[in-house]
Structure 1
């Protein structure tokens, strides 16, 4: 079985290693971001809100630090807006309809708005227009939604005829489009809300349990799976109706398989992977 090794991509500067990594992501433009706090969250014992810090490493290597005031998310999701601001969201809504679940901060770290998107956030990714895409896991099976940065619902998968959409296992946002691979049927789904004639396209797919997907032209790659397929990298080619398998291999970190906890972010042709202690990102690029 062919093994593909991830390429090192971005590292949290060592000067910030004394802080706790709450979460981390890679944005649409390739910048890596770490949301840091002075200490790890204590279940049931935290005093909220708290001040936090975002350390950003841009593709050219430039480092930027943004101080955020009064963050209210104990288990947050993070992404950057095109205007330089940030979105921070609590993955679990404390009262299921928490008006401060999602906080929007400007480029100076000041909160400008807040809203709710519903409990059980699996993925939160911002597109080129500043829309916030949210994929939910099965404790709140509302599917996939797109919101604007002021909290207005801009698109929903309700009525979109996506087979077996119960848990958004994989979500890829690039440009103004999104790709998803949801449980239970695991179809590959392309979502283009700005294409009124056909906003959703669905391909049947035999790869089960992938938690990341990359797309380049008519080629697709699925990463992850159940049990021993945790580090699987399955390649396919898009036909008119299905993602036809073309090969299966393994995807490994530069220093070996990702055996512990990890984060994944899908952006276009790229899958970014981060393993504990969550200070470094590596990348697989389907286009290369």
Structure 2
């Protein structure tokens, strides 16, 4: 990594209370309202691949901690996402073509309200403030499953397909949805292979910007600015600050994103929400944030 690249430090955001550290973290996320969630089990995730199991979601936000017990969970090693009504969605990233229980929806009391299938190869699962689910898919799903083939889709919480991407001028087929940012009812995606910045609003692509930044999997957007996080090889911890025009992304400055103490990030999870890039590093008990605002 270039020595002259300055550092940008993440800021502490939310932490799993020590009370729950004896449980196993299956997944963690940050929702559309800024709350952090941890999906926890008593048994290691690899031991939960046959029968339904119980799980606990611990929510941290606005200075408070809340528990939701989920009963008879079906998806194996699922991603967790919170809904506006206090419920949750669990989704297995990989799905057999006949598996109708890939996605499981729970109400605020932890009871199942429905199951459905959304396609193999889930890379991103983000619910918006209305409760719709935005899914970005990686290449094995795009090229192996008809439901995943568009690369980017929006679903209702009952499993109804609401919108799917199709190629538009300036952006071709999505091979792999590297980056997805959802804020309000707007989504931004930056897919492989040419990495155009695609803006979707109210169910249609409203703008495509040509983008020279390659391989980012985190994105912060605010007005006429965007910051891309990560890349290939030595650019894995790179931040690229950019100016947005009507048709293009224009890099202005680069830095290296580090932990609050200045340490390297290592293995991480990333959630992009509007102006914020949320980053979680191993052992995944704490969320940090970079905020363009």
Q: TM-score range by the shorter chain?
A: over 0.9
Pick the aligned partner of 1:280 from 262, 271, 286.
Answer: 286
Q: How many residues align?
A: 281
Instruction: Give 3-state SS (helix, strand or coil) of 2:118's partner.
Output: coil
Residue 170 in structure 1 maps to residue 179 in structure 2: yes
Pick the aligned partner of 1:186 from 188, 195, 210.
Answer: 195
Residues 46, 100 of structure 1: CA spacing in aligned structure 2 closer, same or farther, 3 A cutoff?
closer
* Counterpart for residue 266 of structure 1: 272
Once the two structures are superposed, the pairs formed by residues 242-261 of structure 1 within 5 Å of their partners are 242-261=248-267
Dislocated runs of 4+, deviation >6 Å: none
* Counterpart for residue 152 of structure 1: 160
* Counterpart for residue 131 of structure 2: 130
Gap regions ≥5 residues in structure 1: none
Q: Cα deviation per residue 1:168-187 (whole Å; 9 max; x = unaligned)?
A: 00100110111111011111
Contact residue 270 and residue 285 of structure 1 kept, 8 A: yes
State which drifts further: 257-266 or 144-153: 257-266
Residue 22 in structure 1 maps to residue 30 in structure 2: no
Instruction: Give 3-state SS (helix, strand or coil) of 1:199's partner.
Output: strand
Deviation at 1:74, TM superposition (A): 1.6
Once the two structures are superposed, the pairs formed by residues 1-288 of structure 1 within 5 Å of their partners are 1-42=5-46, 46-58=49-61, 60-93=62-95, 95-141=96-142, 142=149, 143-160=151-168, 162-194=171-203, 199-287=205-293
TM-score normalised according to structure 2 size:
0.93
Structure 1 CA distance, aligned partners of 2:215 and 2:200? Answer: 20
Instruction: Give 3-state SS (helix, strand or coil) of 1:200's partner.
Output: strand
Structure 2 CA distance, aligned partners of 1:242 and 1:164? Answer: 19
Contact residue 209 and residue 247 of structure 2 kept, 8 A: yes
Deviation at 1:261, TM superposition (A): 1.7
Deviation at 1:61, TM superposition (A): 1.1
Structure 2 CA distance, aligned partners of 1:202 and 1:159? Answer: 11
Residues 257, 207 of structure 1: CA spacing in aligned structure 2 closer, same or farther, 3 A cutoff?
farther
* Counterpart for residue 145 of structure 2: none
Contact residue 132 and residue 154 of structure 2 kept, 8 A: yes
Question: RMSD of aligned C-alpha atoms?
Answer: 1.4
